[in-house]
Amino acid sequence: MRRLALIATAAALCAGLAGFTAMEDSAGPPAARSAPGSGDGSRGGPQTIGSAITALQAGLRQQPNDASGWAQLGSAYVEQARLTVDPTLYPKSESALRRSLTLQPQHNTAALTGMAGLANARHRFAQARTWADKAVADDPYAWAPYGALNDALTQLGDDQAAQDAVQHMLNLHPSTDSFTRASYTLELHGRTTEAAQALRRALDDASSPADVAFCQHYLGELAFNTGHPQQALDHYRQALTADPTYTASLAGSARAEAALGQTDRAVGDYRTAIARVPQPQYVLEFGELLQSLGRDGEARTEYGVLQAEQRLFAANGVVDDLNLGQYQADHGDPGLAVTLLTAEWNRRRSVLVADALGWALHRAGRDADALPMARQADRLGWRDALLHYHRAVIEQSLGDDRSARADLTRALTDNPRFSPLLAPDARMRLARLRGQR
């Protein structure tokens, strides 16, 4: 059995150790969370990044052959795109980074890392791995390339190599960026207590309001995904106290409020979050909340916004068949969802894609094909209620009521209010299955 190199115990963390400890892998992923950070260690609010970009542009007008300045500008564009959900910044980023590499083709780790971060942002994870490998080869002692490499490998489903990358990052730079990535690795393996410990260590190392908000937000995500919406809401609000511009925590607050039955507040917070940053995940969550409230017309409007966003992303080089496939499976054309997600699975073998493809195959009436994918999704031990709900429905459709009961019980134990649309269905299915015993 393969062994996992996982983060140290709480006592070791408190002592300042940045290593992982080996543990046996138990084979069997938050709403799914993306790997934190952009690979270059930069984080800040939109105004901070905007000011940095303005300063870099001014400097480059004075010194147009400054390879370092072009590399910094290219990575800053990626960060601004992340904060504002503006994919039109990606071509600008690529132009700046390639200008840097033209000016300094050798020993230009920053530009190589920037290209890896850009490829990750565009969901071109194989390209990101290639650029990150080049950056590591260029300077094996630079920590940022290992972050970009970990992000790419995690999404590609190369679990052991992703762990090795974050281990290198921890060894070189035990900081907010490395501990948040370690937390994500732990969460994907179902080790949520240790994931929270890693995030608290990251919070201890946070040096800016944006970093504090980032850590508090993901503590909130962990709390929500393990069935503690009030605790999650507290973390989201602490994140917003640290950085009122941190829109992810406003959307997180809405999700937690919906789980707590505070639907009017949830609707208001979702509207505000989407008005600030129309992140596709927020739009989809809001649409599903509206649908659960019987406000189908408003839900369809949000789904229309989501489809328009996907077209804009595609026009700017973003490959996002995962999100579009998830939407199509539940709210559109399941056959199209299978086509999109099969293509995505051929590009990256992550547990996120396995879950989505398995569910799309079920929705398209192909349960015999769906079950192996649902099992693939559980290969790391991810404690995700939606994953286990999906697998339970597939098992029930195939007549395996015993397994369906077990997976529904696990889903509702881990997070009883994981979805305003699907959690009620999970409870109804489990009650019926228990009545058959």
- In the chain the domains, ranked by start, together with CATH numbers, are 3-185 (1.25.40.10), 316-435 (1.25.40.10)
Q: Are 76 and 51 contacting, i.e. CB atoms less than 8 angstroms apart? A: no
Block residue for tokens 């597939």: 394
Q: How far apart are CA 373 and CA 379, in angstroms?
A: 10
Q: How confident is the model at residue 43 (pLDDT cuts 50, 70, 90)?
A: low
Q: How confident is the model at residue 2 (pLDDT cuts 50, 70, 90)?
A: very low
- Is pLDDT of 4 > 90? no
For the segment 411-422, what is each residue's pLDDT rounded down to a tens digit? 999 999 999 999
- Is pLDDT of 137 > 60? yes
> Which of the two residues, 311 and 341, has the higher pLDDT score?
341
For the segment 260-300, what is each residue's pLDDT rounded down to a tens digit? 999 999 999 999 999 999 999 999 999 999 999 999 999 99
Q: How confident is the model at residue 31 (pLDDT cuts 50, 70, 90)?
A: very low
Tell me how far apart the 2 most distant CA atoms of the chain are, in Å. Answer: 77
Instruction: Identify the pLDDT of residue 35.
Output: 38
Q: How far apart are CA 194 and CA 197, in angstroms?
A: 5
When the pLDDT of each residue in the chain is averaged and rounded to a whole number, the result is 89
- Is pLDDT of 11 > 60? no
Phi/psi region, residue 39 (left: phi>0; alpha: psi -120 to 50; beta: rest), is: left
Instruction: Identify the pLDDT of residue 23.
Output: 26
- Is pLDDT of 203 > 80? yes
Instruction: Identify the pLDDT of residue 263.
Output: 97
- % pLDDT > 90, the chain: 81
